[in-house]
Amino acid sequence: MAVGLLAAIVPKPFCLLTAKLQPSSLLTTKSAPLFAPLGTHHGFFNGKNRRKLNSFTVCFVLEEKKQSTQIETFTEEEEEEESRTQISTAARVAEKLARKRSERFTYLVAAVMSSFGITSMAVMAVYYRFWWQMEGGEVPLTEMFGTFALSVGAAVGMEFWARWAHKALWHASLWHMHESHHRPREGPFELNDVFAIINAVPAIALLSFGFFHKGLVPGLCFGAGLGITVFGMAYMFVHDGLVHKRFPVGPIADVPYFRRVAAAHQLHHSDKFHGVPYGLFLGPKELEEVEGLEELEKEISKRIKSYNRVPK
């Protein structure tokens, strides 16, 4: 608000106006003269003492500046800033989704290639090994039974080995490697994937020894290597694909027991039962031992709802 002061010299006779200036008069937008022309004021001017005075008028002009333009400018700037923020947020979300899709595709290619390669080599190894053993017309039943029996035994035994190693090694002395699995992943792979390679080394060694040698012991070694391989492939599809959604698993997600397995492993990451379960395929049984079935059912329901919301 601006105040203007105007003084005008008037060459006409004026008399002094004795008046009280009210504060409210300063708030009006009209001119308020403090001295006004009057006739003869009794008691002040008379007869010969009357003289001509040059009087002046003082005016206070109050002007209120309009701020509508500034308000409109501020509003437009706020709208532009909000629009830029929304665009930036949408861009970041789109970039994150694109990165996730790329990571999932990269891991899917790796999973398919490794699964196809390992499966084909395992099938061919089993076929040619028993074909060579039966070249002389004699069927080595004991060796064949031992091979398949140890294949099943090794696959089941790997679950108990994985449970022990997970608790005693990965969450202890090897936590600096396994920790990458409990943090948000940056990229398609993580340091924890090294454990899959470590477990593959004895499987390859056992398969190679059993493949190139005949006899009961080589047959047992071949079966052990085959069981470790089968467990590793199942672990990859259920743990990496179904639980952590690193690649789509298709109808595996609709198998009821695999849903329980996935929910149980998710509780391991929530640390509600001090890390239990440490195993994978027998995870629901571990939760039953610590009275965690109620939480397991809640997690199953939550995963089903989440899975149904995601387009397949």
Residue 278 and residue 271 in contact, taking contact as beta carbons nearer than 8 Å: no
Q: What is the mean pLDDT of the chain?
A: 76
In this structure, the number of other CB atoms found within 10 A of the CB of residue 170 comes to 19
Q: Which of 111, 153, 181, 163 is nearest to 280 (CA)?
A: 163
Residue 280 and residue 159 in contact, taking contact as beta carbons nearer than 8 Å: yes
Residue 286 and residue 279 in contact, taking contact as beta carbons nearer than 8 Å: yes
Length of the chain: 312
pLDDT on residue 209: 93
pLDDT digits (tens, 9 = 90+) for 192-228: 999 988 988 999 999 999 998 888 899 999 999 999 9
pLDDT on residue 47: 46
SS3 297: helix
Q: How confident is the model at residue 257 (pLDDT cuts 50, 70, 90)?
A: very high
Any idea which residue has 């027998």 for tokens?
282
Q: How far is CA 16 from the centre of its chain?
A: 82
pLDDT at 274 over 60: yes
User: Mean pLDDT throughout 218-246?
Assistant: 91
